[in-house]
Amino acid sequence: MKIAELSFLIVEDEEFQRQMLVEMLKAAKAKNVVTATNGQEAAELLVQDPSVDIIICDLDMPVMDGLEFLRHAGEAGYRGSVLIASALHHTLLAAAEAMSKAYSVNLIGVISKPVTWQLLEEAISRHAAPEAKLHVRSVPRRAFTPDEILHGLTEDQFEPFFQPKVDLATGRVVGAEALARWRHPQHGIIAPAAFIKILEDSGKIDELMWVMLRKAIVFCGTVNTMGVESSVAVNLSLKSLNNVELAGRVAATVERHNLDPSKVCLELTESAATTNLGAALENLTRLRMAGFGLSIDDFGTGYSSMQQLTRIPFTELKIDRSFVTNAVNHEAARVMLTSSLQIARQLNLKSVAEGVETQQEWDLLQELGCDLAQGYFIAKPMEVNDYLNWLKELARTPNSIFTSSILAPFTSRR
Ligand code: C2E
Ligand code: CA
Ligand code: CA
């Protein structure tokens, strides 16, 4: 959107700073600029005109500070964008950023003062009109009942989308993660957030797991017959591990399809403490003995932490997206990332960074010696045919940084 089409609310107690922002925006021909000298004034202005596109907000202000104002804006359901401009230390800015997100404020940037036009313009370019954002919603507002989900499963409406895992040093595609999608006849493609937890809570997550495992195995076979050596990763709910029969059944399924277990990696996320630790450990140890890969997902968050590493025979450590995303700009996240990589190296685990979205993140990970990367920068999760076409396309574009020498068979066959 052009700046000339946008309205702004500047919340800043220092006169000079406030005037400077007004001048910059006026010079860029902003449609409308209003100002407030503290959070209280701003909150009142926002009640009068909630349609303001972008709020530029200082944090440290008298009467009502920026934190409280952003809380009010979030609670009032403000739909525009917010840009924090502050002279506070970067650790405080990081905390304010996290807080804004928790209050569902659409934060488009955090700028340390002094604000320059370049920084301002860059942040403003991230603003998207609220209508545009609405289309992204793939989860209907209403929650599904377990019966609706199970019906979808019976009707074979669930399938994996695949997202490539790429070797950071060579650019080779080494595998793909299977992510569940519900192809709903009325609502379109539905993401896991709308059904995983419900299936787990109703004790039916295994039904989805078997669908995902079978389809992922078939996919892996297809890719391998194309001459691309590739593994596949399937997400496994901890709930599924309560049944001690699981490992044997998984191994039998893979064997029936003539796939080597080493081609299958099971990714484990722990969102709650395990109820049946004994059974979980028995299953996981047996799976590892059978040759399956075991990945600790979302490492560094929730229960997915150090203690798990000491008792489960993992082969891979997946660093949570939040540390990857913030590593470029936030010191604390970078320290977490670096330490996680060090732990992986010392324990002889493959390290995977998830949620890689930018060249900067890719470069940093490469520099830090991370093994594998996954994320929108490389490719979004794709339905099976799109994934296969993507692989073929990759073989035709030899200059891509993800070029795969593994893909040579495609090139020579042409
Ligand atoms: P996860 O295993 O951590 O998967 C990564 C999530 O990040 C996926 O979301 C993926 O689409 C998304 N993602 C990948 N790259 C990027 C990126 O660059 N930026 C951003 N912002 N996001 C990225 P998705 O597909 O919505 O899955 C969410 C979670 O649902 C998964 O998190 C996993 O825990 C769970 N899940 C997915 N499929 C299954 C399944 O078959 N069984 C079980 N039990 N859980 C599943
Ligand atoms: Ca995963
Ligand atoms: Ca994850």
- The hierarchical CATH code for the domain 3-138 is 3.40.50.2300
| Candidate from 139, 182, 206, 235 with most ligand 1 atoms within 8 A of CB, to mutate | 235
Domains of the chain, by residue range, sit at 3-138, 146-396
Determine which residue's CA is closest to atom 29 belonging to ligand 1.
192
Question: Does 36 or 95 have the greater pLDDT score?
Answer: 36
Which residues have their alpha-adjacent CB atom under 5 A from ion ligand 2? 235, 267, 297
**pLDDT digit string, tens, across residues 283-336:** 999 999 999 999 999 888 876 667 777 888 899 999 999 899 889 888 888 999
Tokens for 329?
């700009």
Residues acting as catalytic residues:
354
Mean pLDDT confidence for 109-118:
87
* Ligand 2 centroid distance, CA of 385 (Å): 21
**Upstream peptide bond of 409 is cis (omega within 30 degrees of 0):** no
pTM: 0.77
Task: Report CA(19)–ligand 2 centroid distance (Å).
Answer: 48
Confidence of residue 53 (pLDDT cuts 50, 70, 90): very high
CB burial of 373-389 (b: ≥16 within 10 Å; e: otherwise) equals bbbebbbebbebeebbe
Residue nearest to atom 21 of ligand 1 (CA): 355
Mean pLDDT along residues 275-281: 83
Assess whether pLDDT exceeds 90 at residue 402. Answer: no
Q: How far is the CA of 315 from the centre of ligand 1 (A)?
A: 20
Q: How far apart are CA 131 and CA 79, in angstroms?
A: 10
Q: Does 3.20.20.450 match the CATH number of domain 146-396?
A: yes
pLDDT at 27: 93
Nearest to 197 by CA among 268, 147, 271: 271
Q: Closest ligand to 295 CA?
A: 2
Check pLDDT > 60 for residue 136: no
Separation of CA 106 and ligand 3 centre (Å): 22
Atom of ligand 1 nearest to the CA of 356: 18
Question: Cα separation of 239 and 256, whole Å?
Answer: 24
Tell me the pLDDT band of 134, cut-offs 50, 70 and 90.
very low
* 42 Cα: distance to centroid of ligand 2 (angstroms): 42
Q: How much is the pLDDT for 227? A: 85
With CA atoms as reference, report the closest residue to 383 among 181, 174, 118.
181
Atom 41 of ligand 1: nearest residue by CA position: 180
Amino acid symbol at 365: L
CA of 192, nearest ligand number? 1
Give ligand 1 pocket residues (Cβ under 6 A). 163, 179-180, 191-193, 196, 205, 208, 212, 235, 237, 267, 269, 297-298, 321, 354-357, 375-376, 381
Pocket residue to mutate for ligand 1, from 153, 179, 189, most atoms within 8 A of Cβ: 179
Do the first three CATH levels of 3-138 and 146-396 match, i.e. the same topology? no
Tens of pLDDT, residue by residue over 330-365, are: 888 899 999 999 999 999 999 999 999 999 999 999
Shortest-distance Cα residue to atom 12 of ligand 1: 355
338 contacts 368 by C-beta, under 8 angstroms: yes
Say how far apart CA 329 and CA 165 lie, in whole Å. Answer: 24
Q: What is the pLDDT of residue 236?
A: 95
Mean pLDDT for the chain? 88
The percent of residues above 70 in pLDDT, for the chain, comes to: 91
Q: Closest Cα partner for 378 from 408, 393, 369?
A: 393
